Amino acid sequence: MSVIYQRVALIGLGHIASSMFWGMKASGLADEVTGYARSAETRETAREIGLCDRVCDSAADAVEGADLVVLCVPVGAMGAVARDIAPHLKPGATISDVGSVKRAVIEAVEPHLPESVHFVPAHPLAGTEQSGPASGFAELFHNRWCLLTPARADATEVAKLRRFWKGLGSKVDEMDADRHDLVLAVTSHAPHLIAYTMVGVADDLQRVTENEVIQFSATGFRDFTRIAASDPTMWRDVFLSNKDATLEILGRFTEELFALQRAIRQGDGDHLHDYFTRTRAIRRGIIEAGQDTDAPNFGRGAHSTGRAE
């Protein structure tokens, strides 16, 4: 790949940002990558492991002269960061993000940006349950989707950002922000909340069962714990920022759960078998779409994919 942006600034140096950096270096997508994190400890770690060509001690210094600025902070912090960096943005620069919610990010960020920059929100559907600057790896985005939600962005700049994400290995599509938030409530947000709940129930039970829940964990529960190990700040902000869509999906989930409870109580094996047969087809569809493999252990290799998205 050839250079797409001369200078890229990463604001926030966690799992996604570090993976972006290593991916940019592996593919030659940027001449220089600057970075900033609010925590001095994170900045020091980034310097120690060579994350970013230059780690700055302020967001203003990091974005100075940058052609692409990517906000890699929790959704709840996006607006404040945009306000802080706005006076220091290079005219003509593209501003993007990696947030799991899009409508709330657009409403928080867009009012602070000068008219001289291009705002192209984005969401890479990739990640693991790991967090922090040392958790990233260049292959994270390979064959994963990155969704762009450019409401009023310049088509040329959208196409440029699309090439950038393709250079990182992603498949790229565009989607309306509200539709994105509803789709992700189904595929990511509600499943994470269910995982957190199930692990919380197990935490209560293990006090009664003397740790047997932990000792004899089966694969389904282990996968719940992997998902529930995701960054708590990020997921707190996701649920609060995508409240309406998440509550709608949880309402539908509750209705389905009640129907299954009734089938179990009444011994309705036909209903259970038909339901499980239908849901099993979803798994086949995910494999056929190339978003997982049929290998044992949920297709996970050296790097799991439990953060979601």
| pTM given for the model | 0.81
CATH number of 5-176: 3.40.50.720
In sequence order, what are the beta bridge partners of 11? Answer: 36, 71
Rounded to an integer, what distance in angstroms lies between the CA atom of residue 27 and that of residue 3? 9
Q: How far is CA 127 from the centre of its chain?
A: 6
What contacts 108, CB < 8 A, 6 or more positions away?
75, 78, 79, 82
**Residue 299 clears pLDDT 80, i.e. is over it:** no
DSSP 50: T
The β-bridge relationship of strands 145-148 and 122-124 is antiparallel
In the chain, where the domains are located: 5-176, 179-299
Torsion angle defined by CA atoms of residues 154, 105, 235 and 231, in that order, rounded to the nearest 10 degrees:
60
Give residue-wise pLDDT tens across range 27-52.
999 999 999 999 999 999 999 999 99
Tens-digit pLDDT profile for residues 136-164: 999 999 999 999 999 788 999 999 999 99
pLDDT of residue 189: 85
- CATH H-level, domain 179-299: superfamily: 6-phosphogluconate dehydrogenase C-terminal like domain (1.10.3660.10)
Tokens found for residue 200: 């919380």
Report, as an integer, the average pLDDT of 90-96: 97
- The pLDDT of residue 307 is 45
For residue 304, pLDDT beyond 50: no
pLDDT at 306 exceeding the cut of 50: no
In eight-state DSSP terms, residue 185 is I
Which DSSP string do the residues of 200-254 spell out, in sequence order? HHHHHHHHHHTTHHHHT--HHHHHHHHHHTS-HHHHHHHHHHTHHHHHHHHHHHH
